[in-house]
Amino acid sequence: MAPLQERKMIDRFRLWAKGGDGGNGCSSFRRSRHDRRGRPDGGNGGRGGDVILECSAAVWDFSSLQHHINAKRGGHGAPKNMIGSRGADKAVLVPVGTVIHLLEGELPSSVEKKPSGALDPWDIPGTLDFVSSESSQQSPTDRNAKMEKTDNADATSAPSCKETLKEPTPASRFQVSSRFSPSIYKSQNEPEGYSEWEDLDGETNMSGTECEENLEESEQIQYNVAELTEPGQRITVAQGGDGGLGNLHYAKGSKTYRDNDSNDEISEDDVRAAPNIGLAGSEAVLLLELKSIADVGLVGMPNAGKSTLLGALSRAKPIVGHYAFTTLRPNLGNLNYDDLSITVADIPGLIRGAHENRGLGHAFLRHIERTKVLAYVLDLAAAIDGRKGIPPWEQLKDLMLELEFYREGLSDRPSLVVANKIDEVGAEEVYEELRERVPGVPIFPVCAVLGEGVSELKDGLKMLVNGEEPSTLKLDNILLD
Ligand SMILES: Nc1nc2c(ncn2[C@@H]2O[C@H](COP(=O)(O)OP(=O)(O)OP(=O)(O)O)[C@@H](O)[C@H]2O)c(=O)[nH]1
């Protein structure tokens, strides 16, 4: 029978993130009958959007991510001192337990908890995205007809991915606030009262750029630069560039134009040639990796005693019930040794057909993918005294088959067997038979309720996790009737 879910879990993912470029500042002059020379009134370009990773319990792996994530660029400044709009951020969801390694670039921020609300109105992304809407609707020829391009217009040509990744640009080389003006560009038609409108369209569009997926691993990988461990945590991985200055910035409030920073007098020609290209957004190449949720996964049929065992092994207090599916989510416990600590997950009970999503099905199986070693917890008492349960060796076979049906090779990881409920009458004989039927694998007889055999099991788990006694169960080695 073919597994229903054939897609492999993606737990390692390379991501190229690029913040939106800043919009260009506008160079325009407001002229009138009385003022032929005109006064500069070009607004600043808007800031580009950020690329944000947000930790969420709603996603399990990286399969929903795209390799290239680009935030929107800021809108261009416009005449009448209208600043460009802020480029829209691009936020993507990553699973809980995401570890970020940095291959190229740098992270502009550290992990932070999502703010509750109260956004700065100038920061609301995508309020008016003039550039994207205009550029998507118009052909470059249309735009040229409307805007006179300058020599810098070849900034429009999208750089190849490799070129841009080679030299990550720090987003904030200088601080220009695009927020000072209350006017946001609102009209696409030429406003009255100006005669010249130079636009420097430096739009960089990497979406659609075919980038080599297998860039050689850089030797300067910075490992574990950040971890997202709680839902709601966010991190900005690429920051939008600041918008370029409009020519008004150079000439505020005076007939003779002055540089706001140095206070030097500047000529009208200087004002016209003011550097108004928005800054490029920062770039980063990341390697995302999923942390395993636990070192050891306790796998067993419902009611086998997994939660009881976790409680006996650690200080965890999982809910124990005499009915199936008491455990709906994995409970985690810590096993503390003198020199090490191991995490153990009690995974919800598995039934035949779980790979077809019966019982808790896939939810359960997905948890197993994120553990390093497996401890199969078998109920020795399930079939004794005329009970209608499944004998432990068949439980073991069913468990392994379900893992394999779900994903081939899942049962290959190092494992041991816990023979639970050894206290029950007749369980000793069943245990002996189990040892004969499942040779070559460590089997630990345990009474989880009383804590008997638990310290031996703890030693066995430690050796397994440390790789001192690597033992893998093979389906063919189980002797069935
Ligand atoms: N006699 C005996 N009963 C046990 C032992 N361990 C667990 N039980 C009982 O078995 C029942 C099921 O225990 P749980 O620990 O909830 O089993 P589980 O495998 O976590 O069950 P699910 O949450 O449904 O997956 C409870 O009534 C426990 O008291 C044991 O060593 N001996």
Domain 12-290 has CATH 2.70.210.12: yes
If you measure from the C-alpha of residue 43 to the centroid of ligand 1, how many angstroms do you get, rounded to a whole number?
70
Atom of ligand 1 nearest to the CA of 448: 31
If you measure from the C-alpha of residue 422 to the centroid of ligand 1, how many angstroms do you get, rounded to a whole number?
12
67 or 179, which is more confident? 67
If you measure from the C-alpha of residue 282 to the centroid of ligand 1, how many angstroms do you get, rounded to a whole number?
54
Residue 452 scores a pLDDT above 80: yes
The ipTM estimated for the assembled molecules is 0.97
Query: Half-sphere exposure of 301 toward its Cβ, with a 13 Å CA cutoff?
Result: 23
Distance CA 165, CA 14 (A): 13
The SS3 of residue 376 is strand
Residue 251 scores a pLDDT above 50: yes
pTM of the model: 0.54
470 Cβ below 6 A of ligand 1: no
Residue located nearest, by CA, to atom 12 of ligand 1: 303
Q: What's the rounded mean pLDDT across residues 5-26?
A: 80
Highest mean pLDDT among 46-60, 116-130, 200-214, 447-461: 447-461
Encode pLDDT of 29-71 as tens digits.
Answer: 888 888 777 788 888 899 999 999 999 878 877 888 999 999 9
Q: How confident is the model at residue 22 (pLDDT cuts 50, 70, 90)?
A: very high
Q: What's the rounded mean pLDDT across residues 454-472?
A: 89
Domain 294-477 has CATH 2.102.10.10: no
What percent of the chain shows pLDDT beyond 90? 28
Encode pLDDT of 93-150 as tens digits.
Answer: 998 888 898 998 888 877 777 654 444 334 333 333 322 333 333 333 333 333 333 3
pLDDT of residue 358: 59
Residue 338 scores a pLDDT above 80: yes
Distance CA 238, CA 227 (A): 16
Q: What's the rounded mean pLDDT across residues 261-287?
A: 71
Radius of gyration of the chain (CA): 32
325 Cβ below 6 A of ligand 1: yes
Question: Could you tell me the CA-to-CA distances from 414 to 11, 173, 235, 374, 420 in Å, in that order?
Answer: 19, 52, 35, 6, 19
306 Cβ below 6 A of ligand 1: yes
Map out the domains of the chain as residue ranges. 12-290, 294-477
Mean pLDDT of the chain: 71
pLDDT of residue 151: 34
Atom of ligand 1 nearest to the CA of 324: 24
131 Cβ below 6 A of ligand 1: no
Residue located nearest, by CA, to atom 9 of ligand 1: 305
Pocket perturbation via mutation, ligand 1, pick of 299, 319, 326 by most ligand atoms within 8 A of CB: 326
Report the greatest alpha carbon distance in the chain: 108
448 Cβ below 6 A of ligand 1: yes
